[in-house]
Amino acid sequence: MSDLNQYIEKRIKTDTEFADGFETGYANFKIGVMLRQAREEAGMTQEEVARQLNTTRSAISRIENHAEDIRLSTLSRYAQAVGANLQIRLARAM
Domain-located, residue 12: yes
Q: Is the confidence at residue 23, as pLDDT, over 90?
A: no
Q: Give residue 1's pLDDT.
A: 64
Answer for the pair 62, 32: CB distance below 8 angstroms, yes or no: no
Domain-located, residue 93: no
Burial class (CB in 10 A: 0-12, 13-18, 19+), 67: buried
Domain-located, residue 89: no
Q: Is the confidence at residue 19, as pLDDT, over 90?
A: no
Query: Cα torsion at 92, 68, 16, 88 (round to 10°)?
Result: 10
Answer for the pair 80, 70: CB distance below 8 angstroms, yes or no: no
CATH of the domain at 50: 1.10.260.40
- Indicate the pTM of the whole model: 0.71
Domain-located, residue 41: yes
Per residue in 40-91, pLDDT (tens digit) is 999 999 999 999 999 999 999 999 988 777 899 999 999 999 999 999 888 8
Number of folded domains that form the chain:
1
Domain-located, residue 94: no
Domain-located, residue 14: yes
Domain-located, residue 23: yes
Q: Which residues form the domain of 64?
A: 3-81
User: Can you tell me the mean pLDDT for 23-43?
Assistant: 86
